[in-house]
Amino acid sequence: MIIIQNEKLKATFNELGAELVSLIDLETEKEIIWEGNPNFWSGQSPVLFPIVGALKDDQYLFDGQTYEMPRHGFARRKIFEVKNSSENEAIFQLKSDDETLKLYPFNFSLEIKYTLFENKLTVSYNVKNKSEKELYFSLGAHPGFAIDTKNGLKYDDYEIAFSDDDKLEIHPLVNNLISKKTKTIELKNKTLSLSYDLFYQDALVMTNMKSKELMLRNNQNDHKVIFTFSNFPYFGIWAAKNADFVCLEPWHGIADFEDHNQELTEKFGILKLEINEQWTADWAIEI
């Protein structure tokens, strides 16, 4: 485990997946990140790379060849190298290897940088194409936030406030794939009230959400988390059935549409990098 800390926050990371596994508000000693209870969901804040969501039949086509790829890609199951670790910053790196090339025929470098400044944790991604050809990929974040249901509090005391949306246009998931049919959730004062049954049909997937700032807050007290992101055009909100957490997920890419032809280069939301080109994106939690 790698730990960084300042006067406000203490963050802990696992070299497996370069995953954020704890973020403690030192003033209140409150844990912000989901505990990772495997009875519900063992993840906590995995990186989704080089795909987001599921592929049709867990396969894709590239240059006439079929490749197998698990849901959300392989990065979350790989050990990252610790490139730097200081008092308030940690940098992790994953490079392509013989194992990844069997699943994904590209040479790449993925860096994840975590930085603490006062009461904010910023997470930055850098993907570089190290291949001698164009590189195709998606990347998404999947942080799970703990919902406190102790001391008389309830899951539905929590809500998500959106900076720029009055309604959400949702693409339902069908067998882990995306439906092109949409449904609309009307927001009250740009706010979505949480409830366990909100996620009984899986994640809320949005491809045209306007907001780049969300606030997760408890309407019974002053607890709130401000979540911001940049260079992620799509968004997911998810929780496991009856579990006390919620995931706020900025993505560049989504699961395959039901009618996708499985060609990687034609996948909705796929990013393309030229040789030696880089791509960056980030998100942040402010307590």
* Residue 250: strand, helix, or coil: strand
Token reading at 122: 């910023």
pLDDT of residue 86: 93
Confidence (pLDDT) at 246: 98
How high is the mean pLDDT of the chain? 96
pLDDT at 198 over 90: yes
β-bridge mates for residue 13, sequence order: 2, 20
Q: Are 229 and 164 in contact (CB under 8 A)?
A: no
Domains of the chain, residue spans: 2-286
What's the rounded Cα separation, in Å, for the pair 130 and 108? 5
pLDDT tens profile 155-186: 999 999 999 999 999 999 999 999 999 999 99
Does the structure show a pLDDT above 90 at 111? yes
SS3 at position 251:
strand
pLDDT tens digit sequence for 128-140: 999 999 999 999 9
Q: What is the pLDDT of residues 14-27, one digit of tens each?
A: 999 999 999 999 99
pLDDT value for 205 = 97
Q: What is the Cα–Cα distance from 119 to 8, expressed in whole angstroms?
A: 5
Percent of the chain topping pLDDT 70: 100
pLDDT at residue number 172: 92
- In this prediction, residue 223 has a pLDDT band, given cuts at 50, 70 and 90, of confident
DSSP code, position 188: B
**pLDDT-derived band of residue 221, with 50, 70 and 90 as boundaries?**
confident
Give residue 152's pLDDT: 87
Work out the burial of residue 63: count CB atoms within 10 Å of its CB; fewer than 13 is exposed, 13-18 middle, 19 or more buried.
exposed
CB within 8 Å of 67: residues ≥ 6 apart: 59, 60, 61, 103, 104, 105
- Where would I find the H helices in the chain? 98-103
Region 2-286: CATH code: 2.70.98.10
- Tell me what pLDDT residue 251 has: 98
Find the length of the chain: 287
Confidence of residue 151 (pLDDT cuts 50, 70, 90): confident
